[in-house]
């Protein structure tokens, strides 16, 4: 075991690295959704809720409608992941990342669709694609919460930052994991933006590949521990 860290073969170590990949992916998905799927976010429910209110107030009904689609599909994805991850945990299965299979199915479906239309979906197709990706993010965030616990958040930045600032002021304790999460989200969004600008046809590939890598990390690391 490394001093001050987790043993490389442990499940917690594997989950930490999987969470980092998922966090990077969350930044990438939100940036891609904002830039290419209508100007709303795929997993920032707070911002999307405000946009729904903007639409209801008559500011931009199209934007409000897209935000509503994103929120509803996010909830459906979250419910599906909670059911999948909960069944795996109750069954005593050794792979806590099975919920990611559903997320991967949704993300790769979006990739295939995006490539099939050469990165230019119609209005209705874009809305369905937004809902598909939002459902994938619901799967990720809820699946991580159920399977990996609160120690591995991947997209809850507002609450994390608020808690970190509170701890820094009241307890004189710096939560470095929150800083890592913030940096990874920003870098993921930056990477997706660069890909969208330079290779727009490949834009959805980045988050799909990152989540695939995260899914592969957990069983690989778990096997390392069992063989040791």
Separation between Cα atoms, residue 207 and residue 32, nearest integer Å? 9
In a domain, 130, yes or no: yes
Separation between Cα atoms, residue 59 and residue 57, nearest integer Å? 6
Q: pLDDT exceeding 70 applies to what percent of the chain?
A: 78
Separation between Cα atoms, residue 88 and residue 46, nearest integer Å? 30
Q: What is the SS3 assignment for 171?
A: coil
Q: How many CB atoms lie within 10 A of CB 4?
A: 5
- The pLDDT assigned to 99 comes to 77
In a domain, 157, yes or no: yes
- Structural domain boundaries enclosing 38: 23-227
User: With 90 as the cut, is the pLDDT of residue 226 above it?
Assistant: no
- pTM, two decimals, is 0.82
In a domain, 5, yes or no: no
Summarize the confidence of residues 6-10 as an average pLDDT.
54
Higher pLDDT, 88 or 217: 217
In a domain, 18, yes or no: no
In a domain, 42, yes or no: yes
Sorting pLDDT into bands at 50, 70 and 90, what band is 4? very low
Q: Which two tokens stand for residue 100?
A: 């990611």
Residues 180-190 have pLDDT tens digits of 888 888 999 99
What domain count does the chain have? 1
In a domain, 86, yes or no: yes
Residue 77: exposure state from Cβ atoms within 10 A (0-12, 13-18, ≥19):
buried
- The pLDDT assigned to 137 comes to 92
| Contacts of residue 226, Cβ cutoff 8 Å, sequence gap at least 6 | none
- The pLDDT assigned to 225 comes to 44
Residues 62-110 have pLDDT tens digits of 999 999 999 999 999 999 888 876 666 665 554 556 778 889 999 999 9
Residues 111-135 have pLDDT tens digits of 999 999 888 788 888 999 999 999 9
- The pLDDT assigned to 223 comes to 41
Higher pLDDT, 28 or 144: 28
Mean pLDDT lowest for which of 159-163, 171-175, 192-196?
159-163
Q: Nearest to residue 109, comparing CAs of 86, 136, 88?
A: 136
In a domain, 181, yes or no: yes
In a domain, 8, yes or no: no
Packing angle of the helix pair 99-116, 123-147 (nearest 10 deg): 160
- The pLDDT assigned to 193 comes to 95
């Amino acid at each position: 075991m490394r001093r001050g860290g987790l043993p490389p073969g442990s499940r917690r170590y594997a989950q930490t690295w999987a969470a980092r990949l998922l966090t990077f992916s969350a930044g990438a998905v939100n940036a891609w959704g904002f830039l290419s799927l209508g100007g709303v976010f795929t997993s920032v429910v707070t911002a999307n809720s405000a946009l729904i209110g903007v639409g209801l107030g008559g500011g931009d009904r199209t934007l409000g409608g897209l935000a509503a689609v994103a929120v509803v599909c996010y909830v459906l994805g979250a419910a599906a992941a909670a059911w999948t991850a909960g069944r795996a945990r109750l069954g005593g299965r050794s792979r806590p990342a099975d919920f990611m299979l559903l997320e991967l199915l949704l993300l790769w479906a979006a990739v295939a669709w995006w490539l099939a239309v050469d990165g230019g979906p119609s209005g209705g197709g874009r809305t369905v694609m937004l809902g598909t990706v939002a459902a994938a993010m619901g799967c990720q965030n809820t699946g991580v919460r159920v399977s990996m616990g609160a120690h591995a958040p991947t997209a809850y930045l507002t609450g994390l930052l608020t808690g970190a600032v509170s701890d820094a002021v009241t307890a004189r304790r710096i939560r470095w994991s929150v800083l890592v999460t913030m940096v990874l989200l920003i870098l993921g969004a930056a990477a997706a933006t660069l890909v969208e600008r330079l290779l727009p046809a490949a834009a959805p590939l980045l988050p799909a590949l990152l989540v695939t890598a995260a899914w592969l990390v957990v069983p690989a690391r778990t096997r390392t521990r069992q063989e040791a």
